[in-house]
Amino acid sequence: EAQVTQNPRYLITVTGKKLTVTCSQNMNHEYMSWYRQDPGLGLRQIYYSMNVEVTDKGDVPEGYKVSRKEKRNFPLILESPSPNQTSLYFCASSLRGELYNEQFFGPGTRLTVL
Amino acid sequence: KQEVTQIPAALSVPEGENLVLNCSFTDSAIYNLQWFRQDPGKGLTSLLLIQSSQREQTSGRLNASLDKSSGRSTLYIAASQPGDSATYLCAVNTNAGKSTFGDGTTLTVKP
């Protein structure tokens, strides 16, 4: 089944404890992206990657890191999480041709930082 | 910086009505525009994708149009059903990979 998977789905952690949220897609998509969704602020792009070894900042990159060593994986790293990073996180992927470039989203990761 | 606005923020209609959701954006240099549906506490489900060169796309009871020059897209839902109740989001994407979402329209369809 073609899908975007995220792990973990739920995470409660404490301030300063490094964590990684994994994202994997099995559709051979070039493009991958991370978003956070907060009440009243909507969905905001954190980082995106047009292809392997190519990453760019979105609108809210502060406090996050990403890497794209393989086409299928795009982990989101929080080196020192803070309570303001409590949010619902989504990973997405798509092709980058002229057609068939709709974004497919993962199920989301709900993160709470105490 | 691209800004995306969705109007109305919330909409409540009786079952069977046809309705229109609006999405406007400030920068017309877009790659494509995508409409999503999100149910409470769930992820995003893609509904329709319109490339910048297209004017509209249709899928079942849904029809999305795009007027790039005026910075507007509409999502038309025909013969609404209670199962259509959800939040509808539009996302504007650039060729460079940036994505900007609107805040969504929360639709309630009453039986």
Nearest residue on chain A to B95, alpha-carbon basis: A96
Question: What pLDDT is recorded for position A98?
Answer: 64
**What is the model's pLDDT at position A40?**
86
* Mean pLDDT on A13-39: 96
**For residue B8, cis peptide bond before it (omega within 30 degrees of 0):** yes
User: Would you say residue A52 has pLDDT above 70?
Assistant: yes
CB contact (8 A) between residue A98 and residue B103: no
Backbone angles phi, psi at B2, to 5 degrees: -65, 135
- Please count the residue pairs, one from chain A and one from chain B, whose beta carbons lie less than 8 angstroms apart: 57
Which of A12-21, A97-106, B5-14 has the least mean pLDDT? Answer: A97-106
Give the integer Cα–Cα distance in Å for B19 and B36: 16
Question: What is the pLDDT at residue A96?
Answer: 79
Beta-carbon neighbour count of residue A19 at 10 Å?
Answer: 17
Mean pLDDT along residues A14-24: 97
Instruction: With CB atoms and an 8 Å threshold, state whether B99 touches A48.
Output: yes
Distance CA B33, CA B89 (A): 11
pLDDT of residue A9: 97
Q: Note whether B43 contacts A33, CB cutoff 8 Å.
A: no
Asked whether A111 and A14 are in contact (CB, 8 A), the reply is no
- Residue B34: pLDDT above 80? yes
Contact B97 A33 (CB under 8 A): yes
* Chain B CB contacts of A43 below 8 Å: 89, 91, 101
Kind plus residue range of the DSSP H or E element containing A66: strand A65-66
Type of residue at A85: Q
State whether residue A105 sits within 8 Å of chain B by CB: yes
Residues of A in contact with B103 (CB under 8 A): 42
pLDDT surpasses 80 at B105: yes
pLDDT in tens, A87-100: 999 999 998 766 66
**Cβ <8 Å between A99 and B93:** no
pLDDT at residue number A67: 96
Q: What is the pLDDT of residues B38-94, one digit of tens each?
A: 998 889 999 999 999 999 999 999 999 999 999 999 999 999 999 999 999 999 998
Share the mean pLDDT of chain A: 94
Torsion angle in degrees (nearest 10) through CA of B15, B20, B25, B30: 100
Is A97 at the interface with chain B, CB within 8 A?
no
Inform me whether the C-beta atom of residue A99 falls under 8 Å from chain B C-beta atoms.
Answer: yes
Give the pLDDT band of residue A27 (cuts 50, 70, 90).
Answer: very high
- Three-state DSSP string of chain B: CCCEEEECCEEEEECCCCEEEEEEECCCCCCEEEEEEECCCCCEEEEEEEECCCCEEEECCEEEEEECCCCEEEEEECCCCHHHCEEEEEEEECCCCCEEECCCEEEEEEC
**pLDDT value at position A23?**
98
Q: Tell me if A2 sits within 8 A of A27, measured CB to CB.
A: yes
Q: Give the one of B51, B93, B96 whose C-beta lies nearest to A99's C-beta.
A: B51
Of A94, A76, A83, A112, nearest in space to A25 by CA: A94
